[in-house]
Structure 1
């Protein structure tokens, strides 16, 4: 066996069928941990998600946290990375709303657009993984990765529209109405929003301050303004 490290980036944003979150976030991670032990892999890095300790009403968050807890029992020296919303050329957040703006006369301000995010560049996450692999003293730690800037949901949508040069109505939608829309959207192969994602939007996705992050890894994060104009169209 030539590999000395496992890096698990597998995760789901939505379920195609009931139980998918548990199968991937909990069961699959357990199997990866057991396999790493069996093969005597020395390093295991798991990419989780920021804010899962607080997002108690979201099944996505609960299964992510359960997966972390199972990982700790089987492979205690694993390093866990919890990124905020990730941006980059093929991201599923900025690109998703930019695409929506091309076909819809409005963009939904779910919950009034007050949810806060601290987006992090995918390249900075990659550099973080490299730094962690280079330093065995980081085994067993949890890292929260986020950019320096905090934006609310309304600011993010406004920035997307400005960047792609589109004028759209930002329409406030209550969480309850958004969940109905999300429920109906689940019939699509790749739904733009799901009821569980609406639950996540009830919680801010920013650093807790309880764990080390990019600063402790010696990384100065790139901003959305530096990167997004290169790929948002």
Structure 2
């Protein structure tokens, strides 16, 4: 095999020397991590439990024989975890949950699974690096259960493998995200809750959307994670990853609606009322596999009672050689333009120039 800089090149394949196991490979961030590893000639092991269609695109990201899919993977089986990392010198844990389901609770996903992966890595002498993905606002006293269990998972990983590198990204923005896309769905699918005089929907905005967020483009996060492999100084560190823009939840809603050219009619809903309405529905989630917009779960409502921005004095994307892009323009928000009614260049609020109007 030709040894080169990595990636597919006309003169032949190349080998980065990395054998990486990526847990949660079918997830949003993980697919960008898999792509970055594969492009530089790494062999990537991809354990998954989902349908083959959810992972088939990952097989095309690397050279023939370099993308190893482990179908039917059971994360609750410690032996299966050990098997998945038996030949890997890099392990990436991207497993996480945005809401509890009938099958998995936050405690198991963020604490138990993270701890068992870290313990398996510590017991395997071949594993040199463990990369663990957490959350920007994870803290023991965070307002939501998701963030509290994320913090507990970080502590469990650090206890089992002190030299793990922990990445704490803010809300992720990108083509497959579950933030701007969920907001857009409110205007395109779910917004017929209340109608005003001209027939346009009113959009419920929990707590008036006062919470401040610092979203980050998913590709910047993946690039930062890969860059950390080039420096031993990154071993054992925590990196907080956020974009340059601080937005309120309300301004993020407005950005999405203006980008897809839909009228934005916010209806402030008190947090207490929104949570009272969400709790019965959330109990139903834990019994039946019902899909629902994550932004209306009781835990997300709790999460939005606090700000989610970079703390001071921490390592950031710039310490990993990445200058984060703004998520308010260009490629990071481009996917929302495709939701415009009538075509990419139009939209509900688009006005044709006077010369373009058809008259009889």
TM, length-normalised to structure 1: 0.95
1:53 Cα deviation (Å)?
1.9
Report the aligned-residue RMSD: 1.6
- Map 1:208-219; keep pairs closer than 5 Å: 208-219=311-322
Indicate which of 308, 330, 339 corresponds to 1:226: 330
Aligned to 1:93: 179
2:291 matched to 1:190?
Answer: yes
Work out which of the residue numbers 118, 141, 150 in structure 1 matches 2:214. Answer: 118
Counterpart position of 1:73? 159
2:99 equivalent to 1:20: no
- Is contact 2:183-2:256 (8 Å) kept? yes
Q: Which has the larger radius of gyration?
A: 2
Q: Is the 8 A contact 1:55 1:200 kept in 2?
A: no
- 8 Å Cα contact 2:140/2:152 also seen in 1: no
Query: Does the Cα contact within 8 Å between 2:139 and 2:150 map onto a contact in 1?
Result: no
Contact 2:174–2:333 under 8 Å retained in 1: no
RCO (CA 8 Å, sep 6+): is it higher in 1 or 2? Answer: 1
Return the alpha-carbon distance in structure 1 between the equivalents of residues 325 and 257 of structure 2.
21
Deviations 1:161-196 (A, max 9, x none): 001111131111111111123224434612212111
Aligned length: 233
1:2-24 CA-partner distances (Å, limit 9, x unpaired): 42111110000000148611111
Aligned mate of 1:205, from 305, 308, 316: 308
Distance in 2 separating the partners of 1:18 and 1:176: 28
Mapped contact 2:254–2:264 kept (Cα < 8 A): no
Q: Give 1:39 deviation, angstroms.
A: 1.6
Residues 71-126 of structure 1 deviation map (CA, whole Å, 9 limit, x = unaligned):
11110000111111000000000000101111311222211111001110000011
- Secondary structure of 2:225 counterpart: helix
Tell me the TM-score normalised to structure 2 length: 0.62
1:63 and 1:71 mapped to 2: Cα distance?
12
Looking at secondary structure, tell me which structure has more helix per residue. 1
In terms of mean alpha carbon deviation, does 143-152 or 181-190 score higher? Answer: 181-190
Q: Distance in 2 between matches of 1:143 and 1:191?
A: 31
- Note the C-alpha offset of 1:54: 6.8
User: How many angstroms does 1:219 deviate by?
Assistant: 0.8
- Runs of 4+ aligned residues of structure 1 deviating over 4 Å after TM superposition are none
